[in-house]
Structure 1
Amino acid sequence: MKKISCLILVILSLAEVSCKKFLSETNPNNVTLGSYFKTQNDFDLAVNGAYVQLRGLYNNRGAWVMGEMRSDNAHYDYKSSDQAVATLNRYAVADFLDDKYNNQTPAKWNAGFNAISAVNVIIDHIDDIKLTDASRNAILGQVKFIRALVYFDLVRFYGGVPIYKHAPLTREETYIPRASAQEVYDLVIADATDAAAKLDAPAFPQTGRATKGAALTLLGDVYVTLKKYDLAENALKQVTTMGYSLFPSYGDAFQLANKNGRESVFEIQFNTGLAVPQANTEASVYNFLPRMVNTTVVTGVNFNNVTTVGGFNTPTQDLISAYEAGDQRLDASIAIAEGSFNATDDFTATAVKSSVDYIPPAGKVGRPFPRKYLHAHAIGNQTNDDWPVYRYAEVLLLLAESLNQQGKSGAALPYLNAVRERAFGDASHNISTATQEGLQTIILKERRVELAFENKRWLDLVRTGNAIKVMNDFGVKQKAQYSYLQPGSYNVTQDRLLFPIPNAEILLNDKLTQNPGY
């Protein structure tokens, strides 16, 4: 014991004498931002990390709760015994009863600013090493596109938000006030324009990375939102010259074999084939199915989604009725799980049926679900589907809208009818003539059925000024149908067109202000 004590004293004495020397040396195992970027591969890995953050922005539960369930496209399966906080908070968003404490709406905010942070680190360190002009442009073009895409999403859901052009290094740089919505849009336009200038046109098959076509599509979408239709036309017409095309069948656009194909302008990447821990999955369809102890009949895989994920984003009859007779998109977008609900509102499926003219047989219930993201997979709650952000069909519809809103209705028809011909299989349902106002209504309805469950519907209602009337009218029908809805639900006012700034963010940053009504 004495020898051990003496040895410890000696070690401590040596440590004390040598501590200054040890502490003054750089630990080779300690990586800092200033020392990380040594090669182009380091930048490529960082760009990949920025792309990863987009998953939380576009396909997490908050994304479809806010983008689809908030609208007349989708509702939910009410389960009286499920009083979990997450469940009730999703109900609240759909019913317009959400408040600043809601735990579903902050996810989009958090994912967005995580992506912005990842982008800004790359921008701040792009000159740490010498890169070729081509490599530098490719890196900056991609991250500028990501930042523009994120801020465009955030400003439409939350209004003006803090603008970070560089990674904050101090508390003062971190806790800043909200910029105006116009200032955010100015940044989006600047970033998307720069991205379009730096990125190459798409080459097919695509890799899933941002291209000039994706940047110009984003720019066109922004200009349509801001009602700058001539600028939108200019951006979107360029996209039509880049080799994109529609698949012959609508359902083909979502097949796993066609990921990043000629109809894809930009999509969020998933790949279950990668080795753990790199493997990543898209499993939203399990959220969209009814709650089932065994999902095998519907998915081909035995999975229990009763207490975990199911019962949400249920297609409404209002949406199903919006499809015209002969529109092949209905069957490709929505299927029917046929079976029965039990006393606790859980479902047992006995078959999967087409939604076209569906009538449940005696003793059965038909529960619709979005089928466009359901494809063969091996593990429950893990699919290999990508999530579409922009498809070429939307480019055509945005271009048709931008032309029509300038009074060029005749010029808009070929772009609209290209989408409709694919939907109906021939030109029999082409639109031949309409007033400017009438054609705008047709285009917006076309967007609804073409882009169903791609998180576009709520944003379309807001940007076109239709959200308050459409959703209040829809709410009257909902409350007549569902006795569990509270009397105050679907009281849609101007304040409800934006979501609340997450309360946790306001507690952290006293310079943030809350949106009116929350």
Structure 2
Amino acid sequence: MKKISCYILLVASLATTSCKKFLNEINPNFTTPDSYFKNQNDFDLAVNGAYSQLRGLYNNKSAWIMGEMRSDNTHYDYKSSDQAVATVNRYAVADFLDDKYNNQTPPKWNSGFNTISAVNVILDHIDDIQLSASARNAIIGQAKFIRALTYFDLVRFYGGVPIYKHAPLNREETYIPRASAQEVYDLIVSDATDAAAKLDAPAFPQTGRATKGAALTLLGDVYLTLKKYDQAESVLKQVTAMGYTLFQHYGDAFQLNNKNGKESVFEIQFNTALAVPQANTNASVYNFLPRMANTSVVTGINFNSITNTGGFNTPTQDLINAYETGDQRLDASIAVAEGSFNASDDFTATAVKSVIGYTPPAGKVGRPFPKKFLHTHTIGNQTNDNWPVYRYAEVLLLLAESLHQQGKSGEALVYLNTVRQRAFGDALHDISTTDQAALQAAILKERRVELAFENKRWLDLVRSGKAISVMTDFGAQQKAQYSYLQAGSYNITQNRLLFPIPNAEILLNDKLTQNPGY
């Protein structure tokens, strides 16, 4: 008993005299950024996490709602009985009736800053351990490419946004005002330039990670947006010497066995073979199909796309008409689900038909859908398609535009017609005009049909200064065709060229200001 009593007294004494020491012990099961990075593998895993955040930025619903449905490329299947908040808000974005309370555009903002946060943690801790020069460059290069790509997306949709060069550690660092658009572009150029200097040139087959070619392509796109055409030309010409090339046929660029192939400059990775397939799969094509109780006729898989899934990003007749006769991209990009709508505006498909020259037979309706992302899969709403961010075809079109804008139209035609020759299978459809306005219009049109459904069209209309005129004319056609459109729809003003800052963000951060008109 005496021995036990002495032990109890000893423990009590230690607890009293060494309380501070015990309270300062680090819980080995609790990881912080300061304690996480112990070796290169930890950084590699963190970079993988940053890549995964890009899925939300480039492939969530807000990406195609804002990038395609906002434009003349796609519309939606109106369902009078479905007035759910999400559905109505998607309609509103397409019809230019969205406001700061819209719940379909904030995911882009949220995904963007989640991505930036993931990158900043990596960059803030890159010097925590000793890394080889090559490993350090690869990590920093990829992180800065991701951050530049993310800010480039945000600034074009929202204008100036808060700039975070480091992960905020307190309230004051978190709740900061918007930077100017120019300040955001300055950071983008700096990050993309550093990424290009640190990353290796692509090696084929590629791994899906950012390369020097991806960073230079991004930089060229940024310079073109800023109207720095000579600088765009300089960096894009470097990309043309890196071994990229076009596949023989347009549709080959989207085949599953060609992921990260010779035409890929950068794409968002999806892989149904991973341990948690739902988090690593691309379900976009199911959003683009009609609302169907059974998608088997179209996808080969029985899936119900009626509830909050199908009926969106429907190719418009205006887009279909933009393809010239003989352009093989039309059949590779769009197909027609043939069938009928019932009284509830849900669709039953009986066949899939070619869009070329399609006329529905009596008693049937043909509903077009983006075909380029539909490939064999085994589970409904889970496909293995990657999402293209930059393809080599776009490099050629960016270069053609940068040359043309400098008065080098003859040279521009070489790059433009390289893309067209793949599309038509010959040189008989080459463009020859060097007229300033005509060639610029031809390049913009070529981008439309080459990059359809890749979330480029709305940004192209804004960048080219054509958004108001093109969408006003398109809106008039839409309102003449669809009686469900409201009188105030397609009222496109200068303010509508940017989207509203999510209202929830302004309520959280009183230093944020709203875009004009919202």
* TM-score, length of structure 1 as denominator length: 0.96
Give deviations 1:371-401, integer Å, cap 9, x for gaps.
1000000000000000000000000000000
1:395-474 counterparts in 2 under 5 A? Answer: 395-474=395-474
Give deviations 1:57-77, integer Å, cap 9, x for gaps.
001000000000000000000
Partners of 2:22 and 2:433 in 1: CA distance: 81
User: Structure 2 vs 1, CA of residues 277 and 19 (structure 1 numbering), >3 Å: closer, same or farther?
Assistant: farther
Partners of 2:416 and 2:13 in 1: CA distance: 80
Give deviations 1:6-61, integer Å, cap 9, x for gaps.
xxx99x98997575553232211121111110000000000000000100100100
Partner of 1:363: 363
Partners of 2:213 and 2:24 in 1: CA distance: 51
User: Structure 2 vs 1, CA of residues 215 and 243 (structure 1 numbering), >3 Å: closer, same or farther?
Assistant: same
Partners of 1:183 and 1:66 in 2: CA distance: 23
Partner of 1:43: 43
Q: Secondary structure at the match of 2:453?
A: coil
Q: Secondary structure at the match of 1:285?
A: helix
- Is 1:506 the counterpart of 2:506 in the alignment? yes
Partners of 2:243 and 2:277 in 1: CA distance: 36
User: Structure 2 vs 1, CA of residues 80 and 24 (structure 1 numbering), >3 Å: closer, same or farther?
Assistant: same
Greater shift, 434-443 or 230-239, is seen at 434-443
Q: Is the 8 A contact 1:273 1:279 kept in 2?
A: no
User: Structure 2 vs 1, CA of residues 139 and 278 (structure 1 numbering), >3 Å: closer, same or farther?
Assistant: farther
Give deviations 1:215-266, integer Å, cap 9, x for gaps.
0000000011111100000010000000000000000000000000000000
Indicate the RMSD between aligned Cα atoms, in angstroms: 1.5
Structure 1 unaligned regions, length at least 5? 1-8
Structure 2 unaligned regions, length at least 5? 1-7
Partners of 2:150 and 2:103 in 1: CA distance: 20
Residue type matched to 1:440 in 2?
Q
Shift of 1:432: 2.1
Partner of 2:206: 206
Partners of 1:26 and 1:416 in 2: CA distance: 61
Partners of 2:107 and 2:14 in 1: CA distance: 48
Shift of 1:274: 1.4
Partner of 1:379: 379
Residue type matched to 1:493 in 2?
T
Partner of 2:389: 389
Partner of 1:478: 478
Q: Is the 8 A contact 2:87 2:308 kept in 1?
A: no
Q: Secondary structure at the match of 2:345?
A: coil
User: Structure 2 vs 1, CA of residues 279 and 66 (structure 1 numbering), >3 Å: closer, same or farther?
Assistant: closer
Residue type matched to 2:129 in 1?
I
Give deviations 1:198-219, integer Å, cap 9, x for gaps.
0000000000000000000000
Partner of 2:24: 24
Q: What is the number of residues matched between the two proteins?
A: 509
Partners of 2:130 and 2:320 in 1: CA distance: 55
Structure 1 residue runs of 4 or more that deviate by more than 4 Å after TM superposition:
12-21
Q: Secondary structure at the match of 2:348?
A: strand
Q: Is the 8 A contact 1:158 1:499 kept in 2?
A: yes
- Is 1:351 the counterpart of 2:337 in the alignment? no
Residue type matched to 1:267 in 2?
E
Give deviations 1:306-332, integer Å, cap 9, x for gaps.
013000000000000000000000000
Q: Secondary structure at the match of 1:247?
A: coil
Q: Secondary structure at the match of 1:350?
A: strand
1:31-430 counterparts in 2 under 5 A? Answer: 31-276=31-276, 280-430=280-430
Q: Secondary structure at the match of 2:379?
A: coil
Partner of 2:4: none
Give deviations 1:117-153, integer Å, cap 9, x for gaps.
0000100000000001100000000000000000000
User: Structure 2 vs 1, CA of residues 73 and 84 (structure 1 numbering), >3 Å: closer, same or farther?
Assistant: same
User: Structure 2 vs 1, CA of residues 361 and 189 (structure 1 numbering), >3 Å: closer, same or farther?
Assistant: same
Partners of 2:256 and 2:471 in 1: CA distance: 34
Partners of 2:87 and 2:333 in 1: CA distance: 25
Give deviations 1:64-121, integer Å, cap 9, x for gaps.
0000000000000000000111000000000000000000110000000001000001
Residue type matched to 1:346 in 2?
D
Q: Is the 8 A contact 1:96 1:491 kept in 2?
A: yes
Q: Is the 8 A contact 1:208 1:260 kept in 2?
A: yes
Residue type matched to 2:210 in 1?
A
User: Structure 2 vs 1, CA of residues 279 and 153 (structure 1 numbering), >3 Å: closer, same or farther?
Assistant: closer
Q: Is the 8 A contact 1:256 1:384 kept in 2?
A: yes
Partners of 1:457 and 1:199 in 2: CA distance: 29
Shift of 1:409: 0.4
Residue type matched to 1:194 in 2?
D
Partner of 1:5: none
Give deviations 1:417-475, integer Å, cap 9, x for gaps.
11000000111101123312211100000000000000000000000000001001100
User: Structure 2 vs 1, CA of residues 317 and 277 (structure 1 numbering), >3 Å: closer, same or farther?
Assistant: closer
Partners of 1:272 and 1:432 in 2: CA distance: 45
Residue type matched to 1:33 in 2?
P
Q: Secondary structure at the match of 2:322?
A: coil
Q: Is the 8 A contact 2:278 2:382 kept in 1?
A: no
Shift of 1:279: 5.6
Residue type matched to 1:155 in 2?
V
Residue type matched to 2:257 in 1?
A
Partners of 1:13 and 1:342 in 2: CA distance: 78
Shift of 1:275: 2.0
Q: Is the 8 A contact 1:271 1:279 kept in 2?
A: no
What fraction of aligned residue pairs are identical, expressed as a percent? 82
Residue type matched to 2:84 in 1?
A
Shift of 1:276: 2.8
Residue type matched to 2:123 in 1?
I
Greater shift, 27-36 or 358-367, is seen at 27-36
Partners of 1:26 and 1:467 in 2: CA distance: 57
Partners of 1:416 and 1:506 in 2: CA distance: 44
Residue type matched to 2:43 in 1?
F
Partners of 2:463 and 2:289 in 1: CA distance: 30
